[in-house]
Structure 1
Amino acid sequence: MFWREMMSREQQIGAKPAGIAGTLAGRLMNLIHKKEYSIIIKAIQSRSELPVSTILDIGCGGGAVVKEFSRQFSNAQVIGVDHSAEMVRLSQKTNKSVIKTGRVKIQQNGVEKIEIESNKVDLITAFDTINFWPDYDLAFGEIKRVLSTGGRFIIVNGYPPVGSRWYEFDKFKDEHEYRSFLAQHGFEVSHLEVKNQTIIIESKKKAS
């Protein structure tokens, strides 16, 4: 019972970080995942077949992913969105210097209604956030809308083993469920890997 209560509390903080606990969680995520995210983004860049001019990071949290994208994709505009006001403020602080140049923008909105025009974005990422989305059909529909044809949507998410406490929390239990749901919403998987209990799925938006 105790671990279930703790897990529920962690889920609440992760779903919409708020207050001091939320801000601390965002800072902790920035520190814990900095090296891992840097390696993943470098690999994403190496697989870029077309020029990337606009990048969107959904659920940007404390802004570490946005900062790393702005560093490694130096010619791209990077947009971070999060529905938590605390995370927006923290992400703006993390990326303060790059925001001043106009290359980075942080905005508050949820994945079900992304305030970006259609077919605008070349690369969309979701790092450790997809489990907290309330409506997957709406979310994937919005991602498809703002993504350019041939643009890439990349999911980076925990991949806990069967029987672990986080396994039941995950919406998608294995790579086949990810592939199936992406295909249903107009995406074709181009790269998939599982490493250190993390799954990375790169997909492309199919032509209508």
Structure 2
Amino acid sequence: MTDGTARFDREGAQRMDRIAKTVFAPVYPVIAGQILERCGIARGRCVDIGSGSGSLAIALAGISGLAITLLDSSPDMLSVAAENLRETGFSDRCTLLKADVHNIPLPDASVDLVVSRGSVFFWDDLPPAFAEIYRILAPGGRTYIGGGFGSASLRDAIAAEMIRENPEWQTFREKNLGPENRERIGRVLAELGVPHRIVNDGSGFWIMLEKEQ
């Protein structure tokens, strides 16, 4: 999904939306369930950073009472997301925000949950991005940021299909989710000194910040 650096025109946004609704469709309900289970936040305000066409936000809205802001830097992606929200009936509980993760136009301590799947690997500058996310978290707020497929079986099935379509996709995935990138993100968080833990299992690689009460 997109963020502060990735740019999609209308055609690219529609292509990403098609992939999200086909190959990746089983992933989002699983990750949404894991977010609620692991973060324990089902109500309040949520921001999905690099929301793309809205698949994760829609899955979360379907199983929670969260009011969700879809934040993306691409107006074409947000346009596609708006269509998907109307079709799924979640326009009343989800809003769109064109913005960059490095400069989030939301007040301090105003968000209970920040989620993001796939965009962190494209952020231009990790320290200010995570600092911004921590700034907008309310006391007791948490994040679920990273990348993954929800389970090892989904990961393997989707990888096989994506590699058939584009053999270079495997290299792209390994770069994003490989140990070097995970360690780099871990160092950034340690240097920032923000309370966090990292999940690295069959569900994927996820960064869970928590704002102190």
**TM norm. shorter chain > 0.5:** yes
Q: Tell me the distance in 1 between the aligned counterparts of 2:81 and 2:29.
A: 16
Length, aligned pairs only? 188
- Counterpart of 2:202 in structure 1 is 195
Structure 1 residue 201: Cα displacement = 2.8
1:83 aligned to which of 73, 88, 91: 73
Percent of paired sites with the same residue? 21
AA in 1 matched with 2:188: F
Q: 1:95 to 1:188 in 2, by over 3 A?
A: same
Q: Tell me the distance in 1 between the aligned counterparts of 2:176 and 2:194.
A: 24
Structure 1 residue 31: Cα displacement = 2.9
SS of the residue 1:155 aligns to = strand
Give yes or no for the alignment of 1:181 onto 2:188.
yes
- Counterpart of 1:3 in structure 2 is none
| Alpha-carbon contact 2:47-2:114 (below 8 Å) kept | yes
- Counterpart of 1:60 in structure 2 is 51
2:171 aligned to which of 155, 165, 168: 165
- Counterpart of 1:5 in structure 2 is none
2:100 aligned to which of 104, 107, 110: 110
Q: 1:151 to 1:18 in 2, by over 3 A?
A: same
SS of the residue 2:22 aligns to = helix
SS of the residue 1:53 aligns to = strand
| Alpha-carbon contact 1:112-1:142 (below 8 Å) kept | yes
Give yes or no for the alignment of 1:133 onto 2:139.
no
* CA deviation map 1:134-184 (0-9, x unaligned): 121221111011111221111232599xxx622446697254443332232
SS of the residue 1:117 aligns to = coil
Q: 1:48 to 1:66 in 2, by over 3 A?
A: same
AA in 1 matched with 2:70: G
| Alpha-carbon contact 1:56-1:124 (below 8 Å) kept | yes
AA in 2 matched with 1:200: W
SS of the residue 1:47 aligns to = helix
Q: 1 or 2 for the larger relative contact order (CA 8 Å, sep ≥6)?
A: 2
Q: 1:109 to 1:30 in 2, by over 3 A?
A: farther
Residue pairs, 1:68-79, within 5 angstroms: 68-73=59-64, 75-79=65-69
Q: 1:186 to 1:29 in 2, by over 3 A?
A: farther
Structure 1 residue 30: Cα displacement = 3.7
The alignment's TM-score, normalised by the length of structure 1, stands at 0.78
The alignment's TM-score, normalised by the length of structure 2, stands at 0.76
| Alpha-carbon contact 2:53-2:84 (below 8 Å) kept | yes
Structure 1 segments unaligned to the other structure (5+ residues): 1-10
Structure 2 segments unaligned to the other structure (5+ residues): 150-154, 156-169
Q: Tell me the distance in 2 between the aligned counterparts of 1:49 and 1:91.
A: 26
CA root-mean-square deviation: 2.8
Q: Tell me the distance in 2 between the aligned counterparts of 1:191 and 1:168.
A: 18
Moved more, 173-182 or 31-40: 173-182
Q: Tell me the distance in 2 between the aligned counterparts of 1:108 and 1:89.
A: 10
